[in-house]
Structure 1
């Protein structure tokens, strides 16, 4: 899938009257929709390529991106404060309407292919692309809203009773998602272009979706989620995740990059052996703002103390158990800046690639970008003192690093490290994991960043506050550290593990704290009594209703049988 095709999408307009979703009382979608169109392979290719925009990456469709900017977690502190996505019920919601539009768009493709004169092989491929993307959209919608009305065709009759139907049970919807994914895996080919729809991309999506579903069904509760745990269902989906992960692992097509971090700041991911599917950006054509937000003077969403403390020491032990020096105070260096380089040198190497060694905050700014090509380097600051650096490509001209919307590094969407993490976690949850499994998954990641191999019986960490085994805790730690600030993973991991209460700031104060400023006098920012920087003083209080987004009131007015979610 080449960018020139993606962004030269055929002139198709979908006009919606009234409510902008698939349950509109009077849908009037008008665009080129006839047998001739659906029998033109180039037209259908362009139509299906438009789905690529839904994989946000570093930027797409006006969204700043799913890396770094999705800061609502225990990993980052937004200086203007991240609260629950919805605290009151909205009248309308783009989370609802946008997903519904895309499902409808997919169903037009699937319906159009039924009358197409394309070859059976062509129709099967386009059908697979459609069902892959329908699976993606429904997966997003179910994570947010739970029960969703399942639509496998386009409603064109305003009197169709399904317009007013109740929502389909979320388990049934995900079963249909799995069916769509299996069809995509069976009917898409292996391709060399890693921006194209492929069997491997479909397997990677299946690995992710099934891990989510398996763990969600294992840990959910009737009180908080409206449905009791279903261990049989959990086992089924965890096994499906393993099957998909192992198909990728055994294909011989992928391997870890030599250096952690290479995939986040590359100008070209097409030949990177770790990449399964990525979003391509081009200099002066299609660009993003991720680099400039982590290089410029805009205050960063800093890494939290809780996240910083999650990284192991090089002896393979957590902060509570290590024999290495745990002093995390920032100290002044020869350049007059406050540094934590000594501390970083003793930790998991992912930490020093995630954050700068220099602590910077209001009144103590620091410039990562040098003066080449700009009249003055922007002074960075962070809400917690810890600035995010792993997305920055320091070989770029300064102009492309500090100006809004000028970044053109490629964004990973599915990559091999995630598959290894999925495999290890799914097998650990199933209780079937062996040392050999760890060596083929987690320990490849551990080795890459200078850590000792994980064993089946790791030492207990007093910080384990999730009520899981020592092994699961360490696998989850590895996932957190490997994917920190990446692709909206952390928030949804907390949801599927039934750990959303960890975002309550009064019960988990370290998620709002930052660097240790004990060695700095007159810091000019809020600090705790032991001198840890306070990234934000506001309070976020957990309520179990936040496991699901509320259904917009406008949707319920149009279709009362839609109903409202638990607790709203």
Structure 2
């Protein structure tokens, strides 16, 4: 979980609505007197409720920025042009003080009802584990603090970075305590035992594969974390508390699409372990549909290699088809994995609540592959007018984590595939994955993307990565984390591409009688309706794929860019901190 670096100490939990910002809630700030507070369960609840304000913002949940989603601008981490910052909120530590203040408080420690106390201590330790997971993903080694640090404590303030292994063992202890003591009552908006298991599954898959593939850091224990991922995932899977959402009575009538199209999480609570609530009547909204439909908000579009990765509806590989790389839009989207048509606009797409089909709008997408994931009625397209609840943890991700961890441990079986990947494919009417066939004939297209995969399970690991990329696109920046832990950052440096076109002319993409795009040579012709694109914006002299961000040459430094640089100000204030490799 990515925490927002804001210091909030809450003693009352009155929600204050905000109409135009992607925040869940704000609370009154007040001082807490250790002598008089934490005497009742309401005190414990009031204080720990403030931890929810550190949950990811809406734009972080849906606003993926990697090689899955291409935007009109390219972040420095994507282009390879990050600089060592003077200051950086990513390195901020304010939330940790709130967690440790609670955990170290004598009134909490001496609270008479141990069961009640441990429930809220479990929430604090969940929050601390999530906080440190985010820090380790960004920086690797970081100082581990389990106590409140006062401004007079020079030794602690001048503390060096602790080894990643020590920090992650501490994170594991925190999340295990949370699992053992948090409330077991199912909830889509409160942190429970099940949320903690989902977080543990995510943390341990990340750390296990990071240690396996980043041999340059020489950190032992990859299998320990992968086994912990399997254990946490298995406990969730066998609990019977969650399953995949498979109903077809939602806004679009398609289960995968409706998992994200429902306004509220309640109808999809079979799968959603935890999410963020929004409410139109209270003015608690976000910008999701404005971001997807507006001409000024980045024009997001799926990247061509992701679209190529969707299988055919019969389970065969699209990239095995002759001429797949020069296939035009109408043809390439036919008979594909149904999740493609439930993720982007394809022929026959109709918006929720609409009576007519909607074609691709090139004014709002860089690549032509325009996202529809999370979309609802058109009335929510305005700035700050979206109010659908958003997903933070869901059962589908746990199934993917389980399969991947077992594959990396070389203990995966076809039965494991059937109860994980098979269920995800079954939801959309796709045939199950055949483990033996995948390993006997690894997909060369996927192998060219993921160069570090080897061993007897190479083929099935490539297929699990395909599945993960497709199932989790536009969710919680999963793709960035995946590329970092797999050591496949080179994929950020390749040119991002969109649809293929054979040359100049007008293109009626969905064959409804109206051209959506005009590609021209020479001077721009008079505007007559279709979006206009110069042939020079294709990746060949006269034909090819849309090439995005044409004036940006992206790079990825393999010896540096998997970790973020520490800010100069903190290195100056604490001379015991050392900069990450390559950023000195």
User: Normalised by the size of structure 1, how large is the TM-score?
Assistant: 0.84
Contact 2:135 2:142 in 1 (8 A): yes
Matched, 1:515 2:504: no
CA distance in 2, matches of 1:282, 1:380: 29
Retained in 1: the 8 A contact 2:14–2:28? no
Alignment match, 2:527: none
User: Equivalent of 1:532, from 524, 527, 545?
Assistant: 545
Q: Which residue of 1 aligns with 2:562?
A: 547
**How much does 1:81 deviate?**
2.0
Greater displacement, 307-316 / 342-351: 342-351
Is the 8 Å Cα contact of residues 26 and 53 (structure 2) preserved in structure 1?
Answer: no
1:460 match = 442
1:442 to 2:455 alignment: no
Which stretch of structure 1 is more off in the superposition, 35-44 or 174-183? Answer: 35-44
CA distance in 1, matches of 2:350, 2:180: 50
Taking the aligned partners of 2:131 and 2:317, their CA distance within structure 1 comes to: 38
Match for residue 92 of structure 1?
Answer: 87
- CA contact under 8 A between 1:279 and 1:410: conserved in structure 2? yes
Determine the structure 2 residue equivalent to 1:83.
76
1-structure distance, mates of 2:46, 2:262: 27
**2:118 counterpart of 1:124:** yes
Residues in 2 aligned to 1:528 and 1:444: alpha-carbon distance in whole angstroms: 39
Quickly say closer, same or farther: Cα 1:315–1:127, change in 2 above 3 A: same
1:194 lines up with 2:191 in the alignment: no
Whole-Å separation in 2 of the counterparts to 1:474 and 1:548: 27
Q: For residues 79-101 of structure 1, give each alpha carbon's deviation from its aligned partner in whole angstroms, at most 9, with x where no partner exists.
A: 1223317621111001111xx11
CA distance in 1, matches of 2:304, 2:326: 13
Residue number among 217, 220, 231 corresponding to 2:211 in the alignment = 217
1:411-469 per-position Cα deviation (integer Å, ceiling 9, x unaligned): 11110100100000000001111110000000111122232211112132111122321
Shift of 1:115: 5.1
Matched-pair contact (CA < 8 Å) for 1:6–1:50: no
Mean CA deviation greater in 117-126 or 287-296: 117-126
> Does the CA contact (< 8 Å) of 1:6 and 1:52 recur in 2?
no
Secondary structure of 1:171's partner? Answer: helix
Please give the residue correspondences for 1:188-337 in structure 2 after superposition, counting only pairs within 5 Å. Answer: 188-222=182-216, 227-228=217-218, 230=220, 233-258=221-246, 259-272=255-268, 273-284=270-281, 285-298=283-296, 299-322=298-321, 328-330=327-329
CA distance in 2 between partners of 1:180 and 1:385 (Å): 45
| C-alpha distance in 2 between matches for 1:315 and 1:369 | 27
Aligned-pair CA distance for 1:150? 0.4
Judging changes above 3 Å, is the alpha-carbon distance between structure 1 residues 10 and 294 closer, same or farther for their aligned structure 2 residues? closer
- Note the C-alpha offset of 1:76: 1.6
CA distance in 2, matches of 1:192, 1:74: 35
Query: 1:336 — aligned with what?
Result: none
Q: Does the C-alpha gap of structure 1 residues 4 and 283 become closer, same or farther in structure 2, counting only changes over 3 Å?
A: farther
Q: Does structure 2 retain, via aligned residues, the 8 Å contact 1:12–1:32?
A: no
Displacement after TM superposition at 1:485 (Å): 1.7
The match for 2:528 is none
Distance 1:254 1:368, change over 3 A: closer
Q: Deviations over 1:246-285 (max 9, x none)?
A: 1110011111111112221221113420111111111142
Stretch moving more, 556-565 or 465-474:
465-474
Q: Which residue of 1 aligns with 2:403?
A: 424
Task: Please name the residue that 1:563 is paired with.
Answer: 578
After superposition, the Cα gap between the structure-2 partners of 1:165 and 1:326, relative to the gap in structure 1 and judged at 3 Å, is closer
> Is 1:11 matched with 2:28?
yes
Cα pair 2:308 2:319 within 8 Å, conserved: no
> How much has 1:541 moved relative to structure 2?
0.6
Match of 1:335 in 2: none
Secondary structure of the equivalent of 1:260? helix
Please list the CA deviations of residues 395-415 of structure 1 after superposition, one character each: whole Å capped at 9, or x if unmatched.
xxx33x221111110111110
1:127-138 equivalent positions in 2, closer than 5 A? 127-138=121-132
CA RMSD of aligned residues (A): 2.5
Q: Structure 1's 410 and 370: CA in aligned 2 closer, same or farther, altered over 3 A?
A: closer
Structure 2 gaps of 5+ residues are: 1-11, 17-24, 247-254, 507-518, 521-531
Change (3 A) 1:422 1:40: same
The Cα of 1:517 is off from its aligned counterpart by 2.6
> Partners in 2 of 1:320 and 1:157 — Cα distance?
59
CA contact (8 A) 1:319 1:326 kept: no
Which of 364, 387, 390 aligns to 2:373? It is 390
Question: Which residue of 58, 67, 80 maps to 1:74?
Answer: 67
Q: How does 1:143-158 map to 2 (within 5 A)?
A: 143-156=137-150, 158=152
Gaps of 5+ in 1: 14-30, 331-339, 360-365
> Deviation of residue 325 (structure 1)?
7.4
SS of residue paired to 2:284 = coil
Find out whether 1:49 has 2:49 as its counterpart.
Answer: yes
Paired with 2:87 and 2:193, the residues of 1 have a C-alpha distance of 36
- How many Å separate the matches in 2 of 1:4 and 1:295? 35
